[in-house]
Structure 1
Amino acid sequence: MTLAIMQPYFLPYIGYMQLMSAVDTFILYDDVSFINRGWINRNKLLINGQEHLFTIPLKDASQNKRINEVHLADDPKWRNKLLKTIEQGYRKAPYYQTVMPLTEKIVNFTTDSIADLVHNSLVELNQYLGLTTRLIASSSIYTNADLKAQERILDICRQENATHYINPIGGIELYDKHIFEETGIELRFIKAKEVEYQQFGRNDFIPWLSILDALMFNDIAGIRVLLGEYELV
Structure 2
Amino acid sequence: MAIMQPTYLPWSGYFGLMQSVDVFVLLDSVQFARRSWQQRNQIKTANGAQWLSVPVQSKGKRDQLICEVELDKSSGFAATHRRSIEMSYAKTPYFRQYADTLLPLLDNSSPLLADMTIALILQLKAQLGIETRVMRASELDGSGAKADLLASLCRQISATAYVSPPGSKGYLDESDAFEQIGVPVQYFEFKHPQYPQPFGEFLPYMSIIDMLFNCGERSSALIQGASEVLQ
- Report if TM-score (shorter chain) is over 0.5: yes
Is it true that 1:82 corresponds to 2:81 in the alignment? Answer: yes
Q: How many residues align?
A: 227
- In the alignment, the residues of structure 2 paired with residue 63 and residue 125 of structure 1 have an alpha-carbon distance, to the nearest angstrom, of 30
Partner SS state of residue 5, structure 1: strand
- In the alignment, the residues of structure 1 paired with residue 24 and residue 213 of structure 2 have an alpha-carbon distance, to the nearest angstrom, of 24
The equivalent residue for 1:5 is 3
Is it true that 1:172 corresponds to 2:172 in the alignment? Answer: no
Assess if the C-alpha contact under 8 Å between 1:35 and 1:63 holds in 2: no
- In the alignment, the residues of structure 2 paired with residue 21 and residue 212 of structure 1 have an alpha-carbon distance, to the nearest angstrom, of 16
The equivalent residue for 1:193 is 191
Query: Percent identity among equivalent residues?
Result: 28
Matches within 5 A, 1:18-167: 18-60=16-58, 64-75=63-74, 77-142=76-141, 144-145=142-143, 147-167=144-164
Aligned residue type for 1:172:
K
The match for 1:223 among 206, 210, 219 is 219
Partner SS state of residue 71, structure 1: coil
- In the alignment, the residues of structure 1 paired with residue 126 and residue 192 of structure 2 have an alpha-carbon distance, to the nearest angstrom, of 25
Assess if the C-alpha contact under 8 Å between 1:36 and 1:63 holds in 2: no
1:33-84, CA deviations, whole angstroms, 9 ceiling, x for partnerless residues? 1111100110000111410001111111765111111100041621111111
1:99-129, CA deviations, whole angstroms, 9 ceiling, x for partnerless residues? 2112223212221100111111111111122
- In the alignment, the residues of structure 1 paired with residue 220 and residue 40 of structure 2 have an alpha-carbon distance, to the nearest angstrom, of 24
- In the alignment, the residues of structure 1 paired with residue 117 and residue 135 of structure 2 have an alpha-carbon distance, to the nearest angstrom, of 12
Assess if the C-alpha contact under 8 Å between 2:57 and 2:71 holds in 1: yes
| Shift of residue 141, structure 1, vs aligned partner | 2.0
Aligned residue type for 2:207:
S
Structure 1 vs Structure 2 CA RMSD: 1.8
Go from structure 1 to structure 2 and tell me whether the alpha carbon gap of 1:70 and 1:201 turns closer, same or farther (over 3 Å shift): closer
- In the alignment, the residues of structure 2 paired with residue 88 and residue 137 of structure 1 have an alpha-carbon distance, to the nearest angstrom, of 33
Partner SS state of residue 67, structure 2: helix
| Shift of residue 161, structure 1, vs aligned partner | 0.5
Q: Which runs of 5+ in 1 are unaligned?
A: none
Partner SS state of residue 25, structure 2: strand
4+ aligned runs moved over 2 Å, structure 1? 176-184
| Shift of residue 156, structure 1, vs aligned partner | 0.8
TM-score w.r.t. the length of structure 2 is: 0.92
Structure in which a larger fraction of residues adopt helix:
2
| Shift of residue 170, structure 1, vs aligned partner | 1.2
Assess if the C-alpha contact under 8 Å between 1:191 and 1:231 holds in 2: yes
1:17-39, CA deviations, whole angstroms, 9 ceiling, x for partnerless residues? 11111111111111111111100
1:137-187, CA deviations, whole angstroms, 9 ceiling, x for partnerless residues? 111122x34x11111111111111100101101111121386534522121
